[in-house]
Structure 1
Amino acid sequence: MSLSFFLKAYLRIAAIVVVVALVCALLFHGINSVRSQYWHEQASAPAMRWLAATPDPLSNYSWLPPRFDLRQSSPVSLGLSPVIQERLGYGQVVSVRSDAGRLAYVLLPDQSVLALTLEQPERDLALLNSILVRWHLDNVPARQRHTLAPELGDALGVQVHQIEKTEDLPDQNVLQRLNSSGLTLFEHDDGVLRALMRLSDGALVQLIMPPPFNPWEWPVLLLLTGLVGGVIALGLYLGLRFVDGNLRKVESVAIRIARGELGARVEAEDGALVSRLALSFNTMAEHIQRLVQVQQEMIHAVSHELRTPVARIRFGVQMIEPGTSQAVLEKQLSGIDGDIQELDELIDEILTYARLEQGGPVFTLREASVTDIVQQVVAEQKLIREGIEIESRFSEGSERWSISDVEPRYIHRAVQNLVGNAARYAAGRVQVSCHLDEDNCRIDVEDDGPGIPESEWEKVFTAFARLDDSRTRNSGGYGLGLSIVRRILYWHGGQAFVGRSEHLGGARFSLVWPRRKAPDGLS
């Protein structure tokens, strides 16, 4: 996996995570703003309706206005918006946020508005309910409290009960605060706010408020989980759809190639997830197309190349008749033997070329001396190329770097093909030069023959190629030698190319390959 692809994928995922987090935060805040508004109105509604149902609440509960800023006024005087006035007209209790905390409003029968200030909404509301409960319980006989307490609790939306058992008492700290004030608020282990009050006759009454507002209720969590899951599912769907689309491109091209459209290729944008697959597939397709093309060319060329020696053998066999003199018979048999040798050499060349073209030979590169291989080839060619001066030259320092990672047999074959080819067309001289350094190996084979026109330089490496000058079939060969040389160098990670010899004036063939194989090796 490339670093650029990893960074792009990482940034995209990070961007999605940030967007999802922001959406969840905004959604969480928005939902809980509405829920909080609803909770405060529902929590304060029983007490506000109780006060609204009481005749002249400011006088009957004269101790409430100083503590809770309880006041009665017209909607206009209180500066209420039309929306709040409309809601009050529907009989709703409205709670709004203010600088002092929260303000609760309720509409009285005379169309005035009763306003109550809660600086700490939950605690002040618990304190208000406790004061109302204590005041009413203190004003009835003790025998009526068991009946009145539940009624007050139902009306105020709380639970009210008298403590009669020691085990129902809260801890000592709460009791100490109760002794000093007669009414105290405390939070139970379940997080619910409670009030403990002492009546005038010493009886203890406990008031339990509704559960506090919880922003992490399960419907909210379920909604956020659904949102995150939906975004993940959408992202996964889009990602898989993108990958599937690219894979379908490869599949479509594979089907076209199977139908015979060998020129079909996968078009993939840079940085795409399957760009490497597309590149490998296109490389494979090009290789297959090339192999098929080479196979077709070989079928046509081989049929042509085999026709001549086979025709000569047939003609030679037909010329052998009973009564033919021994000298004529030996001549005919010698010609047939030469044609058979030619066929054998041609088959060897074809098989070698086929192995190199169809994925390369199975060999392992190993350390060998390039200079020794060159000297061996030169010595062998001197023996069979009489009349041609063949010399080898090594640049300064070549012996130091002569050890290279090669397959000696194939490098020997490549150099032998070039030297033999040069000797075949040379006027009288062939020069083999080695230039070896720390990184590369280079072998140049030059001759003083007619050379090769520049327009034909690439053609000479084509299998069964024929030139129109002196380098033709009349001079021998089958047109496979240079093709074999190029493929040998290809499997060594190098190149073979042709040029003009500045020193001798003829052709110059060069072999260049890395002195050491790549870390992953070639095999």
Structure 2
Amino acid sequence: MPLTYLLKLYARLLAIAAAVVLLCVVLFNGLNAVRHQFWLERMPDPLMRWLASVPLAEEPYQWLSAWYGLTVASPEDLALPPVLQERLAYGQVVATETPVGVWLMVQTPAGDVLRLSFDEPYRDVANVLSELVSWYLGPAEADQRESLARQLEHHLGVRILWPDDGHALPGGAVLQRVSEQGLALYRESPEGPLNALLQLDDGALVGVALPAPFSPWAWPMVLLLLLVVGAVLWLALFLGVRELDSNLRKVESVAMRIARGEMGARVDAGHGTLVERLASAFNGMAEHIQRLVQVQREMIHAVSHELRTPVARIRFGVQMIEDCRDEVALKKQLDGIDGDIQELDELIDEILTYARLEQGGPVFSLREHSVTDIVRQVVSEQQVLRPQLEIEADIDEDTERHALSDIEPRYIHRAIQNLVGNAGRYARHRVRVRCRIDDDNCRVDVEDDGPGIPEQDWERVFTAFARLDDSRTRTSGGYGLGLSIVRRILYWHGGQAFVCRSDTLGGARFSLVWPRRKPEDAVL
């Protein structure tokens, strides 16, 4: 995986995580602020309506006035904002936070506003509810307490429990506080609701299960956060998959264009994308296919011309045989036909060799072999074929010490032989084969004293079927494939073939350069 794409992916994941955290914090705080306000007004609703239903509540509940500032006044006297007045007029319980606590207000049937001030709303409301239960049940007769308790439960929104009905009593610390103060608030679990234990005037114990406290982690909130996280992750996954799908569609589109014959189409996947390597491999494949198609077209065109001349000569020779009157003329025509057939055989061999090398190369089995021995063998063979020329091998002592190289001997022999044969075809008197090998590279230079090659044609000579003299006679020799074969052989050895002018002999100098040792990860 590309490092750039990995870094971009990592940055995106961090951004997604930050966005999820930020969104969850905003939603959590914002929604819980609304929920807390709603709870703050719904939790004391039964208490406030109970107090509002009592005429002149501050008189019978003087202890509420002393403890929690119970007041009953008109909205104008309390200087309430119009919004709060409107809500109170609708019969809602209103809670407002002040610097000294929370005000709970409700409108009485007479149109006044009953207000209580709490420092800790949940604990204070629980304390007031417990005191009211004790205040009403305390003086009541024992046989009336059950019915009165049901009425209090209905109006105050609490559950009244009798220990003698199987309700478990709390621990000794709570009982100790009840015996001392007559009322104790406690929790059965750290996050659970408050419970109250009361001792009535006759010593009877009464339990009060109070409303649940506000929980910021209520299951609707947790479910909402999970839905938000899931939605953000789905969106991120959708965008990531869409980007990958877009890149793959680019590859698909280019593949379809190539199938329609647009061989020059290429994939532009951009830098640092997940399919960057796929696009690079696809473009390499497309270039290779385009080159093979072009080579095939050129080969078909050129082969049709190359085959036409020897075939025409064979046809002409066959016709001449019919007119031969003596053995000498007959033998001359047969020798000519045999030469033309030999020329066809050599041409077909060149074409097949070039086709194998162009279409992916033969199965090379590189092995350690002496390059200097191959050079000497080629020089010896060419000297026999061209006795009129001086063909020499230039090999120094340092090269002899590094003569062994990882090569395919048969193809390296073919490459050097093609160069020496090509030089011998154009040389006037002399051809020199210079071999230099060091720890890393092998180099073979073939020079001649012929007319040389114009600089503008140095690259064209390696093109298949390219011949600078445009002659197709036997005297010119060659089919324009020899140098193309040389370049492909060097390509499959990981090297290069190029041409320049010889500084010493004045003609052309063809050079072969390739690595002496095969790379460890090379696949040939």
Shorter-chain TM-score bucket reads: over 0.9
The answer to whether the 8 Å contact 2:2/2:272 transfers is: no
- The aligned residue for residue 361 of structure 1 is 362
> What is the CA deviation profile of residues 167-210 of structure 1, one whole-angstrom value per residue up to 9, with x for unaligned ones?
62223332223222221111124822211110110111111112
Greater mean deviation of Cα atoms: 272-281 or 354-363: 272-281
SS in 1 for 2:211: coil
Alpha-carbon distance in 2 for matches of 1:201, 1:395: 126
| Counterpart residue identity of residue 62, structure 1 | Q
Which SS does the other structure have where 2:510 is aligned?
A: strand
Q: Is the contact between residue 93 and residue 105 of structure 2 (CA under 8 Å) also seen in structure 1?
A: yes
Counterparts of 1:54 and 1:77 in 2: how far apart (Å)? 21
Structure 1 residues 125 and 473: CA distance shift in structure 2, 3 A? farther
Using the TM superposition, give the Cα deviation of residue 470 of structure 1 relative to its aligned residue in structure 2, in angstroms. Answer: 9.5
The secondary structure found in structure 2 opposite 1:519 is coil
Residue 503 of structure 1 corresponds to 504
Q: State the alpha-carbon separation in 2 of the partners of residues 191 and 94 from structure 1.
A: 25
Contact 1:464-1:480 within 8 A present in 2 as well:
yes
Partner residue, 2:340 = 339
Q: In the alignment, is the contact (CA less than 8 A) between 2:419 and 2:446 conserved in 1?
A: yes
Tell me, yes or no, if the aligned pair for 1:449 and 1:505 is still in contact at 8 Å. yes
Where does residue 519 of structure 1 map in the other structure? Answer: 520
Cα offset for 1:110?
4.7
Secondary structure of 1:510's counterpart equals strand
Change beyond 3 A, Cα 1:198–1:399: farther
Rate the CA distance shift 1:167–1:250 in 2: closer, same or farther, 3 A.
closer
**For 1:40-67, what per-residue CA distance to the aligned partner results, in whole angstroms no more than 9, with x for missing partners?**
1111111122222222222211222332
Q: Show the counterpart of 1:114.
A: 114
Shift in Å, 1:472: 8.9
Query: 1:402 — aligned with what?
Result: 403
Matched AA of 1:8: K
- Of the structure 1 ranges 202-211 and 328-337, higher mean CA displacement relative to structure 2 is found in 328-337
- Give the stretch that moved more between structures: 497-506 or 323-332: 323-332
Deviation at 1:421, TM superposition (A): 0.9
Matched residue of 1:92: which SS?
coil
Bigger mean CA offset, 448-457 vs 388-397: 388-397
Q: Residue 445 of structure 1: SS of its match in structure 2?
A: strand
- Alignment partners' CA distance in 2, 1:473 and 1:76: 124
1:50–1:156: 8 Å Cα contact kept in structure 2? yes
**Alpha carbons of 1:497 and 1:110: their partners in 2 closer, same or farther (altered >3 Å)?**
same
Check whether the contact 1:102–1:119 (CA below 8 A) recurs between aligned residues: yes
In structure 2, the partner of 1:381 is 382
- 5 Å-filtered alignment, 1:70-85, equals 70-75=70-75, 78=78, 80-85=80-85
Task: Give, in angstroms, the shift of residue 309 of structure 1.
Answer: 1.4
Which residue of 2 is the match for residue 306 of structure 1? 307
Matched residue, 2:180: 180
CA distance 1:421–1:32, change in 2 (3 Å): same
CA displacement 1:333-362 (0-9 Å, x = unmatched) = 222222111111111100000001111112
For 2:78 and 2:510, how far apart are their aligned partners in 1?
104
Counting only pairs closer than 5 Å after superposition, residues 442-457 of structure 1 correspond to structure 2 as: 442-457=443-458
Distance in 1 (CA, whole Å) between partners of 2:97 and 2:6 is 49
Secondary structure at 2:494's aligned position in 1? coil
Check whether the contact 1:425–1:471 (CA below 8 A) recurs between aligned residues.
Answer: no
Unaligned runs of at least 5 residues, structure 2: none
Specify the alignment match of 1:352 in structure 2. 353
Paired AA for residue 11 in structure 2? L
SS of 2:479 mapped into structure 1: coil
Mark the CA change 1:510 to 1:120 in structure 2 (over 3 Å): closer, same or farther.
Answer: same
Q: Which 10-residue stretch deviates more, 374-383 or 18-27?
A: 374-383
Asked if structure 2 preserves the Cα contact closer than 8 Å seen for 1:398 and 1:437, the reply is yes
CA, structure 1 residues 426+52, in 2 after alignment: closer, same or farther (shift >3 Å)?
Answer: same
Q: 1:471 deviation in Å?
A: 11
2:427 corresponds to which letter in structure 1? A
- Within 5 A, what are the aligned runs for 1:14-163? 14-75=14-75, 78=78, 80-163=80-163
Taking the TM superposition and a 5 Å limit, the aligned residue runs for 1:157-236 are: 157-165=157-165, 168-189=168-189, 191-236=192-237
Partners of 1:491 and 1:417 in 2: CA distance: 17
Change (3 A) 1:391 1:127: same
Partner of 1:10: 10
- Aligned residue pairs total 523
Displacement of 1:325 in angstroms is 2.6
2:139–2:201: 8 Å Cα contact kept in structure 1? Answer: no
- Classify 1:66/1:383 alpha carbon distance in 2 versus 1 (closer, same or farther; 3 Å): farther
My pick for the range that moved more, 354-363 or 114-123, is 114-123
TM superposition shift of 1:93: 0.9
Shift of residue 75, structure 1, vs aligned partner = 4.2
The verdict on how the C-alpha distance between 1:124 and 1:358 changes in structure 2, with shifts beyond 3 A counting, is same
Superposition map of 1:288-303 within 5 A: 288-303=289-304
Kindly tell me: are residues 290 and 32 of structure 1, through their superposed partners in 2, closer, same or farther at Cα, counting changes over 3 Å? same
1:234 is displaced (CA, Å) by 2.5
For the residues of structure 2 that align with 1:373 and 1:79, how far apart are their CA atoms? 113
Distance 2:7 2:197 in 1: 62
Do 2:174 and 2:184's aligned partners in 1 also have CA atoms closer than 8 Å?
yes
Q: Distance in 2 between matches of 1:230 and 1:516?
A: 57
Between the aligned partners of 2:516 and 2:321, the Cα distance in structure 1 is 56
Query: How far 1:316 moved relative to its partner?
Result: 2.0
Flag structure 1 segments of 5+ consecutive residues without an equivalent: none
Q: CA contact under 8 A between 2:2 and 2:274: conserved in structure 1? A: no
Structure 1 length normalisation: TM-score? 0.93
Structure 1, 130-139 or 320-329: larger mean CA deviation: 320-329
In structure 1, what is the Cα distance between the partners aligned to 2:393 and 2:66? 118
Any conservation in 1 of the 2:102–2:117 contact (CA below 8 Å)?
yes
Q: 2 CA distance for matches of 1:400 and 1:78?
A: 111
How far residue 72 of structure 1 moved from its aligned partner, in angstroms, is: 4.0
Task: Please say which of residues 51-60 and 192-201 is displaced more in the overlay.
Answer: 51-60
Residues 1:97 and 1:434: Cα distance change in structure 2 (over 3 Å)? farther
Tell whether the 8 Å contact from 1:417 to 1:485 is kept in structure 2 after alignment. Answer: yes
How far apart are the structure 2 equivalents of 1:302 and 1:251? 36
| Contact 2:502 2:509 survives alignment (8 Å) | yes
Is 1:246–2:247 an aligned residue pair?
Answer: yes
Q: Give the whole-Å Cα distance in 2 for the aligned partners of 1:171 and 1:81.
A: 47
Q: CA RMSD for the aligned pairs? A: 2.4
Q: What residue number does 2:417 align with?
A: 416
Are 2:3 and 2:272, in contact at CA under 8 Å, matched by a contact in 1? no
CA distance in 1 between partners of 2:501 and 2:474 (Å) = 21
Structure 2 counterpart of 1:223, which letter? L
Q: Please name the residue that 2:272 is paired with.
A: 271
Q: How far off its partner does 1:226 sit?
A: 2.3
Q: Give deviations 1:68-101, integer Å, cap 9, x for gaps.
A: 2334445456554332222122111112334444
Change (3 A) 1:43 1:417: same
Give the Cα separation in 1 of the matches to 2:443 and 2:104. 96
